Amino acid sequence: MLDCIERWLVAINRWILIVLLLAMACIIFSNVVLRYTTGDSIFWAEEVSRHMMIWVTFLGAGLVLRTGGHVAIDNLHTAVGTRAARMLRGLVAVGIALFCVFMAVASSDYVWRTRFQTTAATDIPISFIYAAMPVGFVLVLVHLAFIARRYVMQGQYVAEEEMDGDAASSI
C-alpha cells in the first residue's frame, strides 16, 4: 500500500514539474519571439515565469532529496564504523525533518501575512506564490519519510534511471 502511495506521489510530483517547466518555457519563448518580431512583449510573462520557477524549486526539492542530489558532505559517515555512521545519518535525517517542520510552519505564517498583497502585473495574491514554501517543505518531509530508513540503515538513496544523485550533487 505504501509503495503504491509512494509511486503515485512521485509520478504526480514529476508531472506537475514537467507541466510547470513546459509552460514556463513556452511563455518565455513566446515572449522572446514577440519582443524581437513585433517589438512588444507579453506584460505578464516575466512575472508569471518567475512565480512558476519558485513553485518548481520547492516542488522539485523532495524529488531531488530522494536520489541524493542535494549537496552533501559524506566524508565523516564514510570514515567511521557502521554503527556510528548510522547514528550520524539518523541525526542528519532528524535534522532535515525538524528543519522542514519548522520551515513549513514559519512559511505558513508568512503565507497568511501576505494574503492581501497582490502582484503588480497579474494581480495574483502573493500568498499563492509563497504557498510554494510550506507545500514544498511538507513534500520534502514526505519524501524523506519514504527514504529515511534505507538512508539511515544503508546510506543509500533511491536509485533512479533518470537521475544520478552523486553526479548531480558534484556539479
pLDDT digit string, tens, across residues 104-118: 999 999 999 999 999
Is there a domain that residue 168 lies in? no
Residue 74's pLDDT band (cuts 50, 70, 90):
confident
Q: Count of domains in the chain?
A: 1
Is there a domain that residue 101 lies in? yes
Contacts of 54 (CB under 8 A, 6+ apart): 129, 132
CB distance 155 to 85 below 8 Å: yes
Is there a domain that residue 169 lies in? no
Residue 1 reports pLDDT greater than 90: no
Is there a domain that residue 41 lies in? yes
Q: How far is CA 68 from the centre of its chain?
A: 13
Is there a domain that residue 150 lies in? yes
51 vs 75 pLDDT, higher one: 51
Is there a domain that residue 143 lies in? yes
CA pair distance 158, 149, nearest whole angstrom: 11
Is there a domain that residue 166 lies in? no
Is there a domain that residue 58 lies in? yes
Q: What is the pTM of this model?
A: 0.86
> What pLDDT does residue 156 have?
77
Give the domain extent around 33: 2-161
Write the DSSP symbol of residue 122.
Answer: T
| Burial class of residue 143 (count of CB atoms within 10 Å of its CB; 0-12, 13-18, 19+) | buried
Nearest Cα neighbor of 108 from 124, 125, 132 is 132
CB distance 13 to 59 below 8 Å: yes
* Three-state secondary structure readout of 47-102: HHHHHHHHHHHHHHHHHHHHHCCCCCCCHHHHHCCHHHHHHHHHHHHHHHHHHHHH
